[in-house]
Structure 1
Amino acid sequence: MNQQAVSRNGLDQRAEPLKLRSRPWAATLILIGGLIALALGIAVSVSFGAADIKLSVVWTAVFHFNPDITEHQIIRELRLPRVLGGVMVGASFAVAGAIMQGMTRNPLADSGLMGINSGAGFALAVCFAFFPNLSFMYLILYSFIGAGAGAGIVYGIGSLAKGGLTPARLVLAGAAFSALLSALSEGVALYFKIGQDLAFWYAGGLAGTKWFQLQVMSPWVIAAIIGAIVLSRSITMLSLGEDIARGLGQRTGLVKLAGALIVLILAGASVAVVGAVGFVGLIIPHLTRYLVGVDYRWIIPCSAVLGALLVVGADLTARMINPPHETPVGAIISLIGVPFFLYLARKERREL
């Protein structure tokens, strides 16, 4: 009994830095300030476009919609679903990345680097080629399947290497397999002449997002983010190490299974709507941990807010660079994400 108490005290001492390295006050400021900034970003994004619309008109269109006014129709049917889609996609990718990094203790983990996005994209290419009239509900379902298959194959390839699975090997396996799936998707697009249909998903963008897509996507995303928040304490324990998590009473296998399912739902639904937008799940969790500490009870909700803010801001920037033409959102985020990834890879190499 004394030995168990000593062991338990040792685990508690190793878990104690969580309290010291977590900053709830910073998380509260981020949540409040981030939500205010997000509301302002949504308003500006809805008002800006080929036809600039005053913020007062945006307010009227949202709360006192008049279908006979053209500006109200533009706001309600085109711009609002686009911006709200960006909010959900940004939050989804960021939370998925936070969960992956916490569960695997891999600082380079991201759905775009682990084969999840490319797997979902390949599944969409197959659907467009063989089942062109599928409803969006089925597209999301096949996107989930493709995301799961991509992740499973990448983890399998990385595990086959001598010495087991390491962060560097996982990223290399993910990059190689993602390149293969991208090439196969392009081959399918050329052979079946569906390149124009897939161009949107290749570039990554929010243009063309419709209300029915959000209606199908939103229950999955909301449920998955709530599940991630419920799971956040267990992910915090896993981020300390699997042995410590077991010692603290966590059922690590069940937690990993639930976390993987949440990641696949978030990434699969987002890719089905916006396409191949990478690096959101890499950048945002690192930034959030730097600001709020290592407690995932704060990291996950803050990542959701900051991820949404990043995608909404990137979409607005994409429309401002060369109006009335649009730059792909994925390209804008990659300008930040690629240097950040190289910095992390260099840092990880120094620590090996």
Structure 2
Amino acid sequence: MIRVAVIGTGNISRLHISSYLAFPDRCRIVAFADIYPEKCREKAGEFGLDVEIFDSHKELLGRSDIDLISICTPPFCHAEIAVEFLNAGKHVIVEKPMAASLEECDRMLEAAGKSGKVLAVVAQNRFKDPVMNLKRVLDSGKIGRIVHAQVDSFWWRGHCYYDLWWRGTWEKEGGGCTLNHAVHHIDMLAWMMGRPLSVQALLSNTSHDNAEVEDISIAALQYPGGAVAQITSSVIHHGEEQQVIFQGERARISAPWKVSAMVSKSNGFPENNPQLEKELNDYYNSLPKLKYIDHKGEIDDVLTAVETGGQPLITGRSGSLTIEIITAIYKSGFERKTIDLPIAKDDPYYTVKGIRENAIHFHEKKSSVVNLGSGQEITVGSDYKNK
């Protein structure tokens, strides 16, 4: 039986808690910790749990009766908490984004390496059938070499969203929509295409004058072999349409699933290739369905890694690559120039301090509240299925 503690009991913790409760024969939640312990009591009551409650995660570091830690705190303290628990011999799953800088990611990876414990990063969208099967189709080689990718990470958040005490500041949130919303889609892109060679980006804040950070960014990425990609990260798009599109040499595929394949006429103009479209659709439809999806799918994967001594699908190294691409987007947007990857350890943007010193403050945060609509539903992204 894997014994679990949840650190940070805000909105996102609800998805962790309900996911652990889906596996009662494999794990048991034994403790909550939050600097606002009343949030712990609220969550315990909501789920009918008899758990110990603490106002500091440090009180749990020496506990031998806890095996796995879910970190659901604001991003600025992910690294500190993860490193302390890994050093204490605990397995760790940390909410996105993994950390606020590459230096923090490296410290987490070092601690995981020394302890031999699991370090997993939440990217629950990989555990959706359309996304998982999109990766499988790409890996099959049926569309040929990828030549272009398009990521539309479109979200919408009201002005008051950034009134929450830790949001909208470079110090506490670590960034805007690029780091905290598009992180899901940037993870997908990194998983499917790897590290780009270079990044060009622009940033803006068009609609949230109570936040220092960006509410939209647009980035262009260059990959080895000539492929290019574009990422739009936004919290100003009504409708929140989200998609990931890959153009291959032979066909176009995407999540939500859609196929288009063309061949050339003798004059160079296109005509449809229904045979390849059918082949791709048949292959996609033959792929197995995931047993568990979203956070539940990722929690199942992490529990399996703990039980077997294996590695989760989304490791600390996966999370670090996502942070590297996001860091390059910020550096390019701040400095208005092309940024080459990888980002070296002597780069100012390698550290939180360097990012904060160079960050553009689009506005200054004007108001701060402890809670925003406690108990109200939150949205965590598209299901990537055709409506």
The higher-RCO structure (CA 8 Å, 6+ apart) is 1
Larger strand share, 1 or 2: 2
Fold agreement, TM-score > 0.5: no
Larger helix share, 1 or 2: 1
- What TM-score, normalized to structure 2? 0.28
- What TM-score, normalized to structure 1? 0.30
